[in-house]
Structure 1
Amino acid sequence: WRLLQGLAGGLLIPVAQAAAYRQCSPEQRGALTRRILLVALLVPALAPALGGLLVQWLSWRGVLWASLPLALAAMGLVLAWMPANGERTAPRLQAYALATAMSALGVLLLALTWLGEPGHRIAGAVLLLLALVLATAHLRHARRQAQPLLRWSLLSHRGLRLAMLVYLAVPGVFIGSQLASTLQLHQAGFSAARIGALMLPWALASALAITGSRHLLARFGPAAVLRGGMLLQASGLLLMALLPQPSFALAALLFALMGAGGSLCSSTAQTLAFHGIGAEALGDASALWNLNRQLSFCLGTAAIALLLALAMQWLPARATGVALGLAAFLTLLPMALLRRAQPLLLPQPENA
């Protein structure tokens, strides 16, 4: 069932985004991008608050039932609003490229899972090597294609490459860190509803950061904004690690720090990703960007789960704190590359 959910969700994001862009003029797309990003960040942030209440009042199955009327409403809006598509020509599906890419990702996620389990570490190491082989096969095949499934050559664009790494290390790591922080807060006596409600201050801080990021970029440049965002999120994670039994007010403040920091980085990264890319390459760059955005959440969760599993074996009394501390360290990793970010994006006028 998770496979079906992933297939459907993977189709929805790029198709909906492309459809929205087609309805806008070029000068409207900047504002549209910010609105899409705001929804993409705030909805997953607000959902745990409602989910916590449903779990507490009903059961975990109530969360699944609650999504059904929302899906039906969205289908109704599609039928009412979406224009009918004309005749379109589709490129040939590259089965080998798709199979090797999906297999490499699946094997990698399974390898990271098994590396954290004492009885499966050898198998996990073998799977890690297999994932590398599959990824190499995919890239070699892509180089021989005139129109590859994914245009990896765009990674030579420094802004796109840096933006993808930032998204992996900041929003991706944050999503993964919620596994450890939820466990820690549960052990501290927080109910499911209170844990979910902590995403509300995260969402508020996130919204303020997204709306203010444009002005901060114009005034300070991307390197300073990214550096500040990383420090804010890392500070929230580190304080969460050092304070295993915070009050609700303090926990809300720490989540607000993480929300502001993570969203400063994600909105700046999205701006960097497409700056300087020609119009003919925007579609391919968007595909790489959206793929990386989704994979960041998967890989970030798998990485933090691996660290948490290892910490539970070696330092069981402080496992969640160790995992959150390491998450703070991972958040700061791209900072070494930020000295190259400043020339990539110059401050622009408000009406640019």
Structure 2
Amino acid sequence: MTAEIREDPPPAPAAASSTGFPPELRRVIIVAMLGGLVVMLDSTIVNIALQTLSADLHASLTVVQWVVTGYMLAMGMVIPVSGWLARRLGARRVLAAATAAFTLASLACGLAQNTEQLVAFRVLQGLAGGLMTPVGQIIIVRAAGPRRLARVMALIGIPTIMAPVAGPTLGGLLLEHASWEWIFLVNVPIGAVAAWLALRMLPHDAQEEAGTLDVPGLVLVVAGSVGVTYGLAKVGERGDAALGAAWTAGGAVLLGLFVLRSLRVERPLLDVRLFRNPAFSAASLVTFGFGASIFGGMILLPIYFQVVRHESTVATGLLLVPQGLGALASIWASGRITERFGPGRTSLAGGVIAVVTTVPFLFISADVPYPLLDTGLVARGLGIGLSGMPAMTAAFNALGRAEIADATPQLNVVQRFGASVGTAIFAVVLQHGLDGAGGMASRQADAFGTAFAWVLGATVVAAVPTVLLIATERRRSARGSDQ
């Protein structure tokens, strides 16, 4: 969630619904969230089509996965400049332009003739989508004001919650009754309406002093992130290990230079000094790990259901619903649980649940009963939903109000980078296993178990730092009681 929190004056009295939101605010929420929902759906709807794309475009999974990785990576790259563009050009204009660009890129994806074109257009789609979500959130939070912020922030999370539930199911229906092109073309009418509504219904906002964009920092972080992600994907390909290692090392060097530069300039693209705060560093590691675990892990099960169990795309989409429902239920309850036990303890509990419930997937077989599999998915969704948002809450609690505007895009970037890295690594591990399976269902299932071992590693990476969140909360509480 990326938003600039400002102390706006209380809005003029207006007729409100039972939720307490006046009509003007409801319109802003609906319009801004419409674009956000489409963007998040496109983060998950393609997962179910990877096997179809691999067959139709005559490409391996390690190549086709860039349809997902490129999109996620591109989104993460523009998030740092979203706030700067909103101040420089006005949030309403940026949202409308980004929505129009996303719509055109979706059309181009639907018309793509090969994998290279599709990946390129998906990158353009991701660049536009990476602006739509944070800028839409800026508009919503500004319209809400401080008094309604808590309830509005809960609504902002709905697209993220609904995407894992609706994305695979919608993708399956489109693949079953139309073709893979329609998982992109379906965005065109929705995006056109969203862009028109943004211009007609969102409040006009004045341009602000944005300062000079940190272009060198942007180039370093983009090139470094692409280098690391591309390198990790190449490391596992036969004959490309040395090239992949070189790309990974080069990307790591560029990211290191970005950090060093950001520590020296007055107004860096991302304020890496925030990582000196232990709570923020821990929350960032939690966010990175769960970004890999959630989005990267989501490419595995759709392929499992289609390759090993020979399910249709519609059935595959429906079989993926339980994990989303589990996450939805836990996120719904996480606010109250966090208020009672604290964000650190809540995040730790969710992390432990996510780790424990990922372990059974290491032993996934070709004939595991679906009720047992669905139970595991619901339980894993509960853990994931219970850990992510409380971790971000703990980070914000440890920061000053002036640091929130820098912290929110950084956490979003970390999550997207984790998702990109996870997707690249898990796809390579899975492809290696499937290549050696010889078409035998039992050995194919073993390949998925191996890939889930890497998912488990990412989940552990996310769960361990939650202990530090508890420690920082205790120290802050002790300082407060001494005053």
| Fold agreement, TM-score > 0.5 | yes
Q: Which letter maps to 1:117? A: E
Residue 458 of structure 2 corresponds to residue 338 of structure 1: no
What does residue 289 of structure 1 align with?
A: 411
Equivalent of 2:203 in 83, 90, 109: 83
Larger RCO, structures 1/2 (Cα 8 Å, 6+ apart) = 1
Is the CA contact 1:235–1:257 (under 8 Å) kept in the aligned structure 2?
Answer: no
The alpha carbon displacement at 1:208 in A equals 1.4
Is the CA contact 1:46–1:199 (under 8 Å) kept in the aligned structure 2?
Answer: no
- Provide the rounded CA distance (Å) in 2 between the counterparts of 1:250 and 1:76: 46
The alpha carbon displacement at 1:314 in A equals 6.8
The alpha carbon displacement at 1:237 in A equals 2.9
- Provide the rounded CA distance (Å) in 2 between the counterparts of 1:224 and 1:277: 18
The alpha carbon displacement at 1:311 in A equals 4.0
Q: What are the Cα deviations for residues 194-249 of structure 1, in whole angstroms up to 9, with x where unaligned?
A: 21113322222222111211222233333432233223333443323323233333
Residue 263 of structure 2 corresponds to residue 263 of structure 1: no
What does residue 332 of structure 2 align with?
A: 211
Q: Which letter maps to 2:392? A: Q
Q: Which letter maps to 1:341? A: L
| Larger CA deviation: 210-219 vs 114-123 | 210-219
The alpha carbon displacement at 1:313 in A equals 6.0
Equivalent of 1:237 in 337, 341, 358: 358
The alpha carbon displacement at 1:343 in A equals 4.0
Q: What are the Cα deviations for residues 6-48 of structure 1, in whole angstroms up to 9, with x where unaligned?
A: 1101111221111111112213222222221232222343111
- Provide the rounded CA distance (Å) in 2 between the counterparts of 1:169 and 1:280: 26
Q: Cα–Cα, structure 1 residues 218 and 86, in superposed 2: closer, same or farther, change >3 Å?
A: closer
Q: Cα–Cα, structure 1 residues 336 and 201, in superposed 2: closer, same or farther, change >3 Å?
A: closer
* Secondary structure of the structure 2 residue equivalent to 1:119: coil
Q: What are the Cα deviations for residues 143-192 of structure 1, in whole angstroms up to 9, with x where unaligned?
A: 22111111000111222221121122124312212222222222122221
What does residue 111 of structure 1 align with?
A: 231
Q: What are the Cα deviations for residues 65-117 of structure 1, in whole angstroms up to 9, with x where unaligned?
A: 11112212211321232111223222212221111110001111110110110
* Secondary structure of the structure 2 residue equivalent to 1:118: coil
Structure 2 unaligned blocks of 5 or more? 1-120, 478-483
What does residue 307 of structure 1 align with?
A: 429
- Provide the rounded CA distance (Å) in 2 between the counterparts of 1:65 and 1:339: 45
Q: Cα–Cα, structure 1 residues 235 and 276, in superposed 2: closer, same or farther, change >3 Å?
A: closer
What does residue 329 of structure 1 align with?
A: 457
Q: What are the Cα deviations for residues 286-310 of structure 1, in whole angstroms up to 9, with x where unaligned?
A: 1212212222221221232233244
Is the CA contact 1:167–1:265 (under 8 Å) kept in the aligned structure 2?
Answer: no
What does residue 165 of structure 2 align with?
A: 45
Residue 136 of structure 2 corresponds to residue 26 of structure 1: no
Residue 298 of structure 2 corresponds to residue 170 of structure 1: no
- Provide the rounded CA distance (Å) in 1 between the counterparts of 2:261 and 2:267: 11
Equivalent of 1:182 in 298, 302, 306: 302
Is the CA contact 1:112–1:124 (under 8 Å) kept in the aligned structure 2?
Answer: yes
| Larger CA deviation: 194-203 vs 7-16 | 194-203
Identity %: 24
Q: Which letter maps to 1:142? A: S
Q: Scaled by the length of structure 2, what TM-score is found?
A: 0.68
Structure 1 unaligned blocks of 5 or more? none
- Provide the rounded CA distance (Å) in 1 between the counterparts of 2:311 and 2:134: 37
| Larger CA deviation: 221-230 vs 27-36 | 221-230
Q: How many residues align?
A: 348
Q: Which letter maps to 1:298? A: S
Aligned-residue RMSD, C-alpha: 2.2
Q: Scaled by the length of structure 1, what TM-score is found?
A: 0.91
- Provide the rounded CA distance (Å) in 1 between the counterparts of 2:284 and 2:247: 24
- Provide the rounded CA distance (Å) in 2 between the counterparts of 1:28 and 1:37: 15
Is the CA contact 1:51–1:63 (under 8 Å) kept in the aligned structure 2?
Answer: yes
Q: Cα–Cα, structure 1 residues 8 and 260, in superposed 2: closer, same or farther, change >3 Å?
A: same
Q: What are the Cα deviations for residues 238-263 of structure 1, in whole angstroms up to 9, with x where unaligned?
A: 32332323333333222212221111
What does residue 160 of structure 1 align with?
A: 280
What does residue 376 of structure 2 align with?
A: 254
Q: Which letter maps to 1:320? A: F
- Provide the rounded CA distance (Å) in 1 between the counterparts of 2:316 and 2:418: 23
Q: Which letter maps to 1:221? A: G
| Larger CA deviation: 224-233 vs 288-297 | 224-233
- Provide the rounded CA distance (Å) in 2 between the counterparts of 1:277 and 1:223: 15
* Secondary structure of the structure 2 residue equivalent to 1:147: coil
Q: Which letter maps to 2:363? A: L
